[in-house]
Structure 1
Amino acid sequence: MTPLGTASVAALRQYVRFADANRIETGALFEAAGLSPDILASDDGRVDGAQFQTFIRRLAEVSGNPILGLETGDFVQPGSYSVLGYITMSCATLGEAVARIAPFEKLVGDMGVTRLAMVGEAVSLEWTCQFTDSTVWPHLVDNVFASWINYARWLADRPEASPLRVTLKRPSPGPALEAEYTRRWRCPVTFGAPENRVTLHRDLLVTRLRQPDPQLRKTLEAHALSQLALLQTDTDLTTRVKRCLQKQLAEGVARQDMVAEALGMTSRTLQRKLSQEGVSYQQLLDDVRQQLAEDFLTRTDLSIPDIALRLGYSETASFHRRFKASTGQTPGDYRRRGGEGGNEGQEPGDQADV
């Protein structure tokens, strides 16, 4: 993996939708970036950050559009933000949704970092772009801010809502094109600023959203946390294996041959490559099951038999034994203690939660 990290396929799709709408042939863009168009079929795939940067640069060159980033923001959808999009959809207020950008934005990609600050009656979202290509980063910043504003208007069902102001580090695209920013965002826009920042009035944060669902949000955040853990700690191969396992376990199965096939290799090749990295398929399966089990127990109200079934255990007792071997606690004790460790006071042979 390059120093630019990775980006979700969901983020790539937004640029592809723009290209398709403008009748720009994407085959050459994928080829230039060293990507296969087939990756668009993946719901949880990742692309190398350098490849993503190349794709955007080639799109900018082919389109000749000096405000490419601004216009690609028109193609934002909830799915553009991966699981973060669905988390924000289930929030009760715009403030709740905004507060979830920074903790979960890595799921969308490593393109930049958000910092939230409250100053009097204003709330600012400052975004620091990690990409360095001089052609790409201005478009990327424009895209991020345009997408935020469009998506927030949709979430809140307030198409008239606008920021107080936007500041951009990028140079001005010229007086004629500056009008496109103010027309879309309906607020003052400053170019050549020290930071990339969207400033909102605090009153906007209490805006009620379309479909609040606290239980769904809790479940989605548990899933998002487990995905973040994989992104932060694993090599590229082990990350991909664990993602495949998560997808399989969501359907109640866990088969090595299916994982290998999804990664375009044989089971034997997968086993050999994992061995070279000092891990085994079973270790990764155990890790994913354990992480998901802990998330389900602390962040959902699913029954313990339901959790065992979701994790691919044929019997609840097998899940019970495995979980207790890993944590020293039964699943029920772990849930009652809110995920806190230790087996103090645990009754020997406690099977009440099986």
Structure 2
Amino acid sequence: MSTVEEPEVRTWNFPRGTASVAVMVGFAAEHGVPADRLLAGTGLHERVLTDADAQISAETELAVVRNLVRELADVPALGVEVGRRYRISTFGIFGYACVTSPTLREAISLALRYYRLGFAFCTPIVESRPRELITWIHHDTIPADVQQFLVERDIVAMHRVMSDLLGARVDFSSAQFSYPATDQTEILERLFGVRPQFDRAHTTFGIDPDLLTQALPQANQPTWAVCVAQCRDLLHRRSARTGIAAEVRDRLLPGTGATGFSTPPTLEAVCRDLNLSPRTLRRHLVAAGTSYRALLDEVRQALAEEMLTATPLSVDDIAIRLGYAEATPFIHAFKRWTATTPAAYRRAHRRD
């Protein structure tokens, strides 16, 4: 018999801290690429990377990833090498909560519960089997131009963090990738302790289930409880919209009694209402860890979920009410937000 654990969300589009960007900026600097080139087009300044309270949108980190992949295209096994730079300390209080967990199983459960406090773009689904713990890596919603880099970065980072937690190298029992073989096979085999397979139906890795019950070297129940409480508070703060982000979000919401908007307000219209230039508003939103597009997606997702569960409207009608010309782009967007289709969401959440 197997059991399955999933993250609290199945999307990469959530606000995050800047520590991951700091890792990539540091890696690029070692290869002669200055910070300003890696941060180009993001609105970020290098000084924000040392601010533990700073937030950025996932799209901002994605822009940094694209800059890194472009600037260091000739570096062998780029995703692997960057992934090896992520240590448990990179994750701040979230990482410390994992370190002080009683066992690896508890640490994995906590990591899934507070998934949004990390930096992954892949979605890990953990299946416990009698002879192997399998992690299914879902990456179909990651943009194709950086998908392989982020898959390798995220899996190698997960491997490195598990080794940090146990205080010893973790060998995978299996490793499979859904894309064709590359020249990184030997590197991955040395790193994972097993030869990876390519061109498989899914991307997965496995570990010995006996590792799950091992007590972690730095397990400490009182400290763990305090850290978990701090993780809960941090997640709440990141999820809350305040200041300029709240003002923009309020202006994107339809009026009282409306069930949608046939045409959402443009960035320019919101700027006029707030008496700000588009450039200034974008800068403020970046500082708040979001963007106009991310806030519009938030509003659209909330309205879509409400209409799918509380009204008999068809998917086509909902798409039109959310400002889409037809259902297809709405379905693609909804799957990016929730990792499921509107029809499947309605079946799972429909109110009686």
Question: 1:9: Cα distance to partner?
Answer: 0.8
Q: Distance in 2 between matches of 1:16 and 1:74?
A: 14
Hey, what does 2:179 align to over in structure 1? 170
Contact 1:110 1:130 in 2 (8 A): no
SS in 2 for 1:208: coil
Mark the CA change 1:232 to 1:73 in structure 2 (over 3 Å): closer, same or farther: same
- The SS at the match of 1:197 is strand
Structure 1 residues 185 and 110: alpha-carbon distance in aligned structure 2, compared to 1, 3 A threshold = closer
Counterparts of 2:94 and 2:104 in 1: how far apart (Å)?
Answer: 14
Structure 1, residues 257-288: CA drift from partner, whole Å, max 9, x if none? xxxxxxxx9xxx9xxxxxxxxxxxxxxxxxxx
Q: Which runs of structure 2 are paired with 1:137-176 in the superposition (5 Å)?
A: 137-159=147-169, 161-174=170-183
Which residue pairs with 1:21 in the alignment? Answer: 30
Aligned position for 2:15: 6
Q: Contact conserved, 1:19 with 1:26, CA < 8 A, in 2?
A: yes
SS class of match (2:13): coil
Q: Which runs of 5+ in 2 are unaligned?
A: 1-10, 247-279, 285-352
Aligned partners of 1:101 and 1:114 also within 8 Å: no
Matched position secondary structure for 2:70: helix
CA contact (8 A) 2:171 2:193 kept: yes
1:45 is matched with: 54
Alpha-carbon distance in structure 2 between the residues aligned to 1:153 and 1:88: 12
Task: State the identity %.
Answer: 16
In 2, the alpha carbon distance for the partners of 1:236 and 1:153 equals 40
Judge conservation of contact 1:126–1:196 (CA < 8 Å) in 2.
yes
Q: Which amino acid aligns with 1:205?
A: L
Describe how 1:252-331 pairs up with structure 2 within 5 A: none
Greater mean deviation of Cα atoms: 63-72 or 53-62? 63-72
Residue 237 of structure 1: how far off its partner (Å): 4.3
8 Å CA contact retained: 1:16, 1:26: yes
What letter is aligned with 1:166?
A: A
**Greater CA radius of gyration, 1 or 2?**
1
Whether 2:64 is the aligned partner of 1:55: answer yes
Runs of 5+ unmatched residues, structure 1? 240-264, 270-354
Shift of 1:90: 0.7
Q: 2-side partners of 1:3 and 1:18: how far apart? A: 22
CA contact (8 A) 1:33 1:51 kept: yes
Alignment-derived partner of residue 113 in structure 2: 103
- Residue 135 of structure 1 aligns to a residue in which SS? helix
Q: C-alpha root-mean-square deviation of aligned residues, in Å?
A: 2.7
Relative to structure 1, is the Cα distance of residues 158 and 109 closer, same or farther in structure 2, using a 3 angstrom cutoff?
closer
> Shift of residue 238 of structure 1?
6.2
Work out which structure has the larger RCO, using CA pairs closer than 8 Å and 6 or more positions apart in sequence.
2
- If the length of structure 2 is used for normalisation, what is the TM-score? 0.61
Contact conserved, 2:88 with 2:164, CA < 8 A, in 1?
no
- Pair 1:171–1:44, CA change in 2 (3 A): farther
Q: 2-side partners of 1:238 and 1:229: how far apart?
A: 15
Length, aligned pairs only: 238
| TM-score (normalizing by structure 1) | 0.61
Q: 1:197 aligns with which of 180, 193, 204?
A: 204
Q: Return the alpha-carbon distance in structure 2 between the equivalents of residues 45 and 82 of structure 1.
A: 13
